[in-house]
Amino acid sequence: MNRRNFLTCVALAPTISTNLLAQDYDVYLSLSEFATISTLNSRLKRLKKFVGFANFNLISYNQALYYGRNYSRVGAFSQKEIGMMERLFDENPNDYGFYGEKTCIDLNNKVSRKEVKKIPYTGHYLFKGKAEADYKKLISDVGDSIILTSGVRNVVKQMSLYVNKIYNCGGNMTKATTSIAPPAYSYHTISDFDVGRKGWGYKNFTADFALTNEFEMMTKLDYIGMRYSMDNRDGVRFEPWHVEVI
């Protein structure tokens, strides 16, 4: 790792483990880039609070900019923040160890409410058709202990999750990008959804979900798949909770 990257890690992420700092193949943001990620992360969180959790899953990029310009509770996105969002959407994530397929080519991708169905008591939506049918059949086959934990995510929602992960990783782009798909590469934008065990909270987004009876039953179903298995070629961490719509 070069001196600049090392100093960036020390200054921005004092809690990053020693073994992570030793990984000289990891790519880090500069101090100024991380500062932009920090303000962008805060603004996107304010935007989510302003429009509401469920609506945040669907809003478009241009809508996000509109809310920022017109509502002080969000605040206008700065040129640096806009530039960072455009960069994160457009850049090739192969340099960070992510090799998945691009699923969305339009930063201002729009999701019509006519195309989706809100799932009661979850705050999430599913695409009508195969995704919605698969979820209903999944509940029928596995049981009502299964619950939708994440459904449709338009670009802004995926951008927010990605930016927050970069921030929490102290600007380590490699660690962030192999933990969550970049905003142009998420299958949540076109089909897939996440499920969990009721009452499990954050544990549903850990490998522990693979130890549940619900997961074991899911592996026996032939109408869904596992997008990110332990040996997936995309370079993404193991996600037993992520349902592939096939």
**Which CATH entry fits the domain spanning 25-99+122-245: 3.40.605.10, 3.40.50.300, 3.30.1380.10, 3.90.79.10?**
3.30.1380.10
Q: For residue 143, what pLDDT is reported? A: 96
Is the C-alpha dihedral spanning 236, 182, 75, 62 positive or negative?
Answer: negative
Q: Which residues pair with 224 in a beta bridge?
A: 245
Q: For residue 25, what pLDDT is reported? A: 82
Flag residues of the chain having pLDDT under 70: 1-24
Q: Where are the alpha helices (DSSP H) in 130-237?
A: 130-142, 155-168, 173-177, 213-218
Query: Tokens at residue 169, please?
Result: 């990783």
Q: For residue 24, what pLDDT is reported? A: 57
Q: For residue 14, what pLDDT is reported? A: 38
Instruction: Please give the Cα distance from 207 to 117 (Å, whole number).
Output: 28
Task: Break the chain into its structural domains and give their ranges.
Answer: 25-99+122-245
pLDDT in tens, 57-103: 999 999 999 999 999 999 999 999 999 999 999 999 999 999 999 99
SS3 82: helix
Is the C-alpha dihedral spanning 102, 105, 108, 110 positive or negative?
Answer: negative
Nearest to 209 by CA among 187, 174, 237: 237
